[in-house]
Amino acid sequence: MACRLEIEPTGNIVEVQEGQTLLDAALRQGIYLPHACNHGLCGTCKVEVLEGEVDLGNASYFALMESEREDGYCLACTATAVNDVVIEADIDVDVDARNIPVKDVWGTVVKREMLTPRILGLWIELDEDLDFQAGQYINYHIPVFSEPRAFSLANQPSTGRIIELNIGIIPDGEATPWIHQNVKVGDKRKITGPFGRFFVKKSANKPMIFFAGGSGLSSPKSMILDELENGCTLPITLFHGARNQEELYYANLFWDLEKKYSNFKYVPVLSNNEDPSWKGEVGFTNDVAKRMYDGQFAGNKAYLCGPPMMTEACIKVLMQGRLFEKDIHTEKFFSKA
């Protein structure tokens, strides 16, 4: 039997089906609740139950401590409603969010290609449209694993039913080596999305600086293509860090965009300085950006996507350069490798 879920302080009301988590019900009805791991591990989706009863589900004791359980808190990503429930959530209103309802679609792999020795590109044709904001991610369901894996969409929304995923291999991971080895053209799988709040904050109307490392280029690629295609005239700069030229993918695409759009600048940066054929920037993206901006970042919006070490170093440089935390945006989802 379905139950009624009321979310305070916004007053939104959603219907929760039997066995459905509170988070899933809200997202599928276009109501945002904070979340990250979706599996009861990180605590991002913690909410207070003000009225009614929930089953806590598989919430870890790290993410939801005994005392919090006693105080009436639950994790929206694991909790199910026993009867009609009222919860209080810490919701940041994001005026740039379109709050697109999450849904399931099926998609068939129509192309696979190694973009670098470590990053696999998959192009998937969906059976129906999937609306999303450039920068968001989807969950890819692989029956051999109990949990789906999250990947950012590397295509911009205008590509219609063909979506692109860039999947970096994590050698000691479980799913990414499996995907690299086993996913082939013709495979049909379920995809759920869109998720996430990593998208361009258009209402800010500020120049954009993107930092990308590894397969973290997916979201910036989608966001930059979307902005340029839609007539954005604000300055956009992309710093893309890679170990060597083999790992630097989509360089030709971005060099072409630089020629076509006077407001776009592409700065590839290699961390390996032993390649005599490389004439571009060498070192780390944060250092190169600091030099190019004279250490002053105020008035921009920064979007960061890549390995934690890279994003931490970039955040430090940006904040030292007077960019407030509210103007620094990072991709925040956790997915098993």
Supply the minimum distance, in Å, between the C-beta of residue 141 and ligand FES.
Answer: 18
Supply the minimum distance, in Å, between the C-beta of residue 23 and ligand FES.
Answer: 7
Nearest residue (CB) to ligand FES, 23 versus 142: 23
The residue whose two tokens read 């961390």 is 271
Nearest residue (CB) to ligand FES, 26 versus 77: 77
Phi-psi region of 19 (alpha: psi -120 to 50; beta: other; left: phi over 0): left
Supply the minimum distance, in Å, between the C-beta of residue 41 and ligand FES.
Answer: 5
Terminal Cα-to-Cα distance of the chain (whole angstroms):
36
Nearest residue (CB) to ligand FES, 138 versus 323: 138
Supply the minimum distance, in Å, between the C-beta of residue 37 and ligand FES.
Answer: 4
Angle (CA) 108-112-117 rounded to 5° is: 150
Is residue 79 within 8 A of residue 21, CB to CB? The reply is yes
Nearest residue (CB) to ligand FES, 43 versus 241: 43
Hey, how many other C-beta atoms are within 10 angstroms of the C-beta on 80?
Answer: 20
Nearest residue (CB) to ligand FES, 196 versus 306: 196
Supply the minimum distance, in Å, between the C-beta of residue 43 and ligand FES.
Answer: 5
Question: Which residues contact ligand FES (rule: CB under 6 A)?
Answer: 35-38, 40-45, 63, 75, 77
Burial 302-322 (b: 16+ CB within 10 A, else e): bbbbbeeebbebbbebbeebe
The residue whose two tokens read 């076509």 is 260
Nearest residue (CB) to ligand FES, 59 versus 124: 59
d(CA 54, CA 57): 9
Nearest residue (CB) to ligand FES, 23 versus 236: 23
Supply the minimum distance, in Å, between the C-beta of residue 33 and ligand FES.
Answer: 9
Hey, how many other C-beta atoms are within 10 angstroms of the C-beta on 189?
Answer: 15
Q: What share of the chain is helix, strand, coil (3-state, %, to 5)?
A: 25, 30, 45
Is residue 7 within 8 A of residue 76, CB to CB? The reply is no
Supply the minimum distance, in Å, between the C-beta of residue 336 and ligand FES.
Answer: 13
